[in-house]
């Protein structure tokens, strides 16, 4: 494995210097690969059919009706996670987290008590307190956000995200991962991201070491309205440019290092692109350099506003005939978020991207600490140093990631055994980051190297 890595590095440097069309070697972990192969389209289809069967999942719908409304949906998800507990070696658990929102004068118009359903896959290393969160919302709406009576299938928004998370719960609860996964089936999204806000507050209050938040909202539609563009080979990952929580001191460091394109959320987005494309064939991940779409929100945002690395994962093209519409036919156009609008092969691949990214990250060592670059000397070399992580398993090595300043993606990586590197490229012409790597090649998130004091 080490020899192979070294070869990759040599090839990487050679090709990076000579051509952008370099070959890449896909080193897949067999455990992750087989979990991706086990993703069941039948399971996801059945789950979305069941979700649609709850008729209307509006936050104002019934919490007590046995077969319809948001309460019955929450109970269904709770019970579904329960069915996976026996095969989890007692690592999987599930709870309902109730909270009260709304009131006169709010978008809800009255006060309601709803709940999130939170599945926890406990990490196997007691010395490692890292957590990774996956989000999807199970509330929905039709053409009127206050209508809790008429049919609102919500197959794609966000039945697709819920089905993705449930498959990941099933598959990753069977695998020994050192890091804890928090799989959050959220309510309250359509009226103001309330369920996510509740969980982000809880994470902050309880001081979670939450290293990544992946929000999946609408990942199953492959057809654009209006332009009729069909695409089931590309997936968007939105990430904030400058952290929402940036302080004056953070701003000073960012400006000094020209780190406008290197927020922690952006590193997470790049990580998902690299890992997802490694494990899922026939797919390209498109990084969108904005927090979310114009005028619209998502459940990752309450988390990024608390300072966590958080991204929104979303289909390449949206279908506005299907989203937030009453089910009907007009002038030959079918409106409404019905299950017929889901491309299940697309949903399968997008679930694989999530699963592989989360599993690879959960198997990786913690990030290197104090990643620093020497910038005070006049030299045509770049000198970097860092500290090994204080918790979790020790890295077998590190990757120094390199890209030219006008490039979007990390272009090459150098394998380093110790905690420093001296590289014959000018510090002025490149950006650098460092990842911790274990003996099997699982990489941590990248930490951008900064200089100055």
Of 18 and 294, the one with the shorter C-beta distance to Zn ion is 294
Task: From 58-66, 156-164, 264-272, 355-363, give the range in contact with Zn ion by CB under 5 A.
Answer: 156-164
Q: Match 């020497």 to its residue by tokens.
A: 374
Interface with Zn ion: number of residues (CB under 5 A): 3
Of 189 and 262, the one with the shorter C-beta distance to Zn ion is 189
Rounded Cα distance between 59 and 269, Å, is: 30
Site for Zn ion contains 158 (CB under 5 A): yes
Of 141 and 278, the one with the shorter C-beta distance to Zn ion is 141
Task: From 21-29, 209-217, 323-331, 336-344, give the range in contact with Zn ion by CB under 5 A.
Answer: 209-217
Rounded Cα distance between 270 and 139, Å, is: 29
Q: Crossing angle, helix 41-52 and helix 159-172, to 10 degrees?
A: 130
Rounded Cα distance between 297 and 134, Å, is: 17
| CB 285, CB 353: distance < 8 Å | yes
**Site map for Zn ion, 106-145, x if CB under 5 A?**
----------------------------------------
Site for Zn ion contains 337 (CB under 5 A): no
Kindly state the smallest distance separating residue 49's Cβ from Zn ion, in Å.
Answer: 19
Site for Zn ion contains 274 (CB under 5 A): no
Of 157 and 167, the one with the shorter C-beta distance to Zn ion is 157
Kindly state the smallest distance separating residue 218's Cβ from Zn ion, in Å.
Answer: 6
Short-list 57, 173, 31, CA closest to 115:
57
Rounded Cα distance between 198 and 22, Å, is: 45
Q: Which of residues 171-190 bind Zn ion (CB under 5 A)?
A: none
**Site map for Zn ion, 393-412, x if CB under 5 A?**
--------------------
**Site map for Zn ion, 214-253, x if CB under 5 A?**
---x------------------------------------
| CB 96, CB 116: distance < 8 Å | yes
User: Can you read off the two tokens belonging to residue 28?
Assistant: 């897949």
By CB under 5 A, name the one of 157, 292, 438, 443 that touches Zn ion.
157
Of 316 and 449, the one with the shorter C-beta distance to Zn ion is 316
Of 290 and 394, the one with the shorter C-beta distance to Zn ion is 290
Kindly state the smallest distance separating residue 293's Cβ from Zn ion, in Å.
Answer: 11
Site for Zn ion contains 315 (CB under 5 A): no
- CB proximity list for 301: less than 8 A, separation 6 or greater: 193, 196, 244, 291, 292, 310
Rounded Cα distance between 164 and 272, Å, is: 15
- CB proximity list for 262: less than 8 A, separation 6 or greater: 431, 433, 448
Kindly state the smallest distance separating residue 298's Cβ from Zn ion, in Å.
Answer: 7
**CA distances in angstroms from 255 to 109, 180, 251, 260, 409, listed in the order given:** 44, 34, 6, 7, 20
Contacts with Zn ion by CB under 5 A lie at: 157-158, 217
């Amino acid at each position: 494995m080490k020899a192979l890595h070294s070869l990759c590095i040599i090839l990487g440097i050679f090709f990076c210097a000579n051509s952008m069309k370099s070959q890449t070697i896909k080193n897949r972990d067999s455990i992750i690969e087989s979990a991706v192969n086990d993703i069941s389209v039948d399971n996801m289809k059945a789950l979305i059919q069941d979700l649609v069967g709850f008729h209307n999942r509006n936050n104002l719908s019934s919490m007590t009706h046995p077969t319809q409304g948001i309460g019955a949906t929450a109970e269904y998800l709770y019970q579904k996670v329960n069915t996976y507990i026996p095969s989890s070696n007692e690592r999987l658990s599930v709870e309902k987290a109730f909270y009260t929102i709304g009131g006169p004068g709010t978008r809800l118009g009255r006060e309601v008590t709803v709940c999130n359903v939170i599945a926890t896959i406990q990490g196997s290393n007691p010395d490692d307190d890292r957590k990774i969160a996956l989000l999807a919302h199970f509330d929905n709406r039709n053409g009127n956000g206050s209508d809790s009576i008429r049919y609102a299938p919500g197959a794609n928004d966000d039945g697709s995200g819920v089905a993705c998370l449930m498959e990941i719960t099933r598959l990753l609860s069977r695998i020994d991962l050192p890091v804890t996964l928090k799989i959050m089936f959220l309510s309250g999204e359509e009226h103001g991201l309330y369920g996510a806000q509740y969980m982000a507050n809880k994470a902050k209050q309880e001081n979670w070491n939450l290293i990544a938040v992946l929000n999946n909202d609408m990942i199953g539609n492959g057809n654009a309205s209006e332009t009729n563009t069909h695409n089931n080979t590309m997936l968007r990952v939105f990430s904030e440019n400058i952290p929402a929580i940036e302080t004056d001191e953070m701003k000073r460091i960012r400006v000094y290092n020209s780190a406008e394109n290197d927020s922690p959320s952006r590193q997470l987005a790049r990580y998902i692109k690299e890992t997802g494309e490694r494990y899922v064939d026939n797919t390209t991940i498109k990084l969108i350099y904005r927090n979310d779409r114009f005028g619209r929100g998502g459940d990752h945002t309450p988390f990024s506003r608390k300072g966590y690395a958080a991204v929104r994962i979303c289909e390449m093209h949206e279908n506005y005939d299907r989203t937030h519409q009453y089910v009907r036919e007009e002038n030959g156009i079918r409106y409404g978020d019905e299950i017929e609008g889901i491309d299940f092969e697309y949903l399968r691949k997008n679930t694989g991207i999530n699963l592989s990214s989360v599993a690879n990250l959960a198997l990786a060592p913690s990030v290197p600490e104090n990643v620093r670059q020497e910038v005070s000397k006049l030299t045509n070399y770049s000198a970097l140093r860092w500290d090994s992580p204080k918790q979790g398993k020790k890295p077998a090595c590190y990757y120094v990631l390199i890209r030219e300043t006008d490039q979007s993606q990390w272009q090459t990586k150098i394998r380093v055994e110790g905690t420093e590197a001296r590289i014959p490229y000018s510090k002025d012409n490149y950006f650098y980051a460092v990842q911790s790597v274990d003996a099997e090649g699982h990489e941590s998130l990248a930490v951008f190297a900064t200089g100055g004091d």
